[in-house]
Chain A
Amino acid sequence: MTISKMLLSAAGFAMVAGLAQADTSGKRIALSNNYAGNSWRQAMLETFQETGKQAVDDGVVAAADAYTTSENQATEQAAQIQNMILQGYDAIVLNAASPTALNGAVKEACDAGLVVVSFDGIVTEPCAWRIAVDFAAMGKEEVDYLATRLPDGGKLLEIRGLAGVFVDDEISKGIHEGVAEHDQFEIVGSVHGDWAQDVSQKAVAGILPSLPPVVGVVTQGGDGYGAAQAFKAAGRDTPLIVLGNRQDELKWWSEQHEANGYETMSLSIAPGVASLAFWVAQQVLDGADVPKDLTVPFLKITQDNLAEALETTPEGSVANVTYTLDDAKTVISDAK
């Protein structure tokens, strides 16, 4: 009897100890990614692998594996997710090829007891968690910043992204909201730069001759350097261009600052959001109460941290930040 009592108490102790430690040390997390063909996605995969490896080494999770489909197709990714269920993963961190076409596979995963956390390319299936980007807020923040720098206002040029894409509509909506609020500003021209420096440069060069002097340029990222080159080629004064965290943009800013004290702001979504999604998945597995809809903070670069950001950003890449478990906890508590 005493032995069974001892066994019981030992079992009880083991259970308590198990609860006190990370509950997730035996859990396996997989990243399902649909595309790896640009610098942002490459940086995203790298961050996930670094974060995952560290977490495995620390014994927080048992595995953190990254999978990318060989073709950027929803049907392929659906099959990939179903394979992950078979492989016995406990959670899937997902950057989806389509917001809706993966819902069937995601539902299968949820029904099989997996935790699905989608980020960047989010899915609408209600059983999944979403780490979304408030693109409209990003656009509005640009105008808010311009209002602090140029209290007298003036005329603005807007560079948009790829026509017909959700992200482009959202950022532009935010910019126009901002302009409505700060009515000292007026958008006098709008071009599509497709988030690429060369396209932006051509588009801005094309519209510049028809524009009155502009005091600021609002952008969507990946287009600021091209815009600056177009202004220079046209012999115009460089306006206040809001940048988008690309390495060439930051380098140009830094050079301008040294030459003539140019100051601006740069903001975009860090590819490290994959590490945030990883920690959110870990928290859900851990039993934390996590709201289904979370919002990613922007990565903002100002004059104060420009040198540091430029140093850590590889050439041709985009400024990044690796989120930690504490960052994830902050994001979760902010959403409650």
Chain B
Amino acid sequence: MTFLSRHRIILPVVSLAVLLAATFYMQPRAMSYFGLNLLFNLAVPIALATIAQMMIIMVNDIDLSLGAFVSLAACVTATFLNDTPMIGLLILLALILSYAVLGALIHALELPAIVVTLGMSFVWSGLALFILSSPGGASPGWLRTLMTVKPPFAPMAVVAAVIIAGVTHLLIIRSGLGTVLRGVGGNARSVERAGWPVIRLKALAYGLAGLFGVLAGMALVGLTTSADANIALRYTLLSIAGVILGGGEFTGGKVSPVGAVIGALTLTLAASFLSFMRLSPDWQIGAQGAILILVLTARLIFSRKGAEA
């Protein structure tokens, strides 16, 4: 069992594979280029949001404003980025920057991230309502094209998931900077004593979260073709669940980008699977929770056995 506890990526992969097999068994139509895309295209923004959440969890914080932030990014994308691309781009950059500043503030003033982000969620929601008080806007043409592109061999959703996982794996696991960033979550004091400016590293982690949050909002608008101020509110909890499902831990420093992307795909698939099962909506949320608890229990059992061995 030490094998499983050392390779924590195995459990998320197995969960996804089992769920995928069950879905294919119930709905053979899903087993095609077209079907896979329909099944997973809405998982792309969730995967990006999960990566954003992972950046925060990596430095031992948690972000309760992510859903509202992604909604705001979606609203900016569907309005300013579409009508006046330069201004839209500037606003999105400002949003990323404000996330970085937030990270620095949280570290400098030793504020609890959970409180600050909860407060910010109302700011982001308010701004989103201010920009788009009633549902509307339109996706920039290039974004729509990008999100509905039909690459050869594998559908867009799968290609995008692989790219997101690959890039963030290189950034967080392989690069030197990524290792230091994970160190901040693991033991910030050691990193500081080793001469690293922790405040800048935290700002960087939050800035990366902001970047992926903005990307999530853009991807979402590319799929839905328009936005509303509440469009991504569920992403806060989905992203946290995705990180944990993918093998990340709240203790900081222990995260897996590939696992996070797989976690996001699993969560999306779980919802579709339950819908294919014709489960009553009253039970669906509960059943989604049950799947989550099942996977986490499995992980706990494996890690306990690993510790004993």
Contacts and interface: CB of A to CB of B under 8 A. Distances in A.
B272 interface: yes
Interface string A81-116: 011011110000000001111111101100010000
Nearest to B285: A70
B239 to A, nearest CB: 13
A99 B35 CA distance: 25
A205 B220 CA distance: 46
B251 interface: no
A80 B272 CA distance: 7
A242 to B, nearest CB: 27
A133 B21 CA distance: 44
B189 interface: no
B84 interface: no
A104 B78 CA distance: 13
A102 B136 CA distance: 11
A164 interface: yes
B225 interface: yes
Given A74-B228, A88-B29, A83 B272 contact: yes
B135 A98 contact: yes
Interface string B37-62: 01101100000000000000000000
Contacts of B133: 164
A100 B139 CA distance: 11
B229 to A, nearest CB: 10
A224 B260 CA distance: 53
Interface string A58-93: 000000010111110111101110110111100000
A164 B275 CA distance: 33
Contacts of B272: 79, 83, 86
Contacts of B35: 86
A36 interface: yes
Interface residues of A, number: 34
B284 A103 contact: no
A70 B42 contact: no
A75 B226 contact: no
A100 B136 contact: yes
Contacts of A65: 278
Of the candidates A74, A107, A166, the one having the most CB atoms from chain B within 10 angstroms of its own CB is: A74
A67 B281 CA distance: 8
A75 B137 contact: no
B224 A70 contact: no
B181 to A, nearest CB: 30
Contact of B281 (A68, A104, A112): A68
Contacts of B220: 75
Interface stretch (B88-96, B119-127, B196-204, B230-238): B230-238
Contact of A73 (B30, B39, B227, B233): B233
Contacts of A99: 135-136
A101 B228 contact: yes
B276 interface: yes
B223 interface: yes
A103 B30 contact: no
A70 B276 contact: no
B6 to A, nearest CB: 35
Contact of B224 (A78, A86, A88, A164): A78
A70 B284 contact: yes
Contacts of A102: 224
Contacts of A166: 134
Contact of B29 (A80, A87, A164): A87
Nearest to A164: B133
A76 B271 contact: yes
B223 A104 contact: yes
Contact of B38 (A69, A101, A108, A164): A108
16 contacts: A65-B278, A71-B234, A73-B230, A73-B231, A79-B271, A79-B272, A79-B275, A80-B275, A82-B39, A85-B38, A86-B272, A86-B276, A88-B29, A100-B224, A101-B135, A105-B224
* Cβ-closest 5 pairs across A and B: A100-B226, A70-B284, A82-B38, A103-B225, A68-B281
Given A79-B268, A100-B137, 9 more contacts: A69-B281, A70-B284, A78-B42, A78-B224, A87-B29, A98-B135, A99-B136, A100-B135, A104-B224
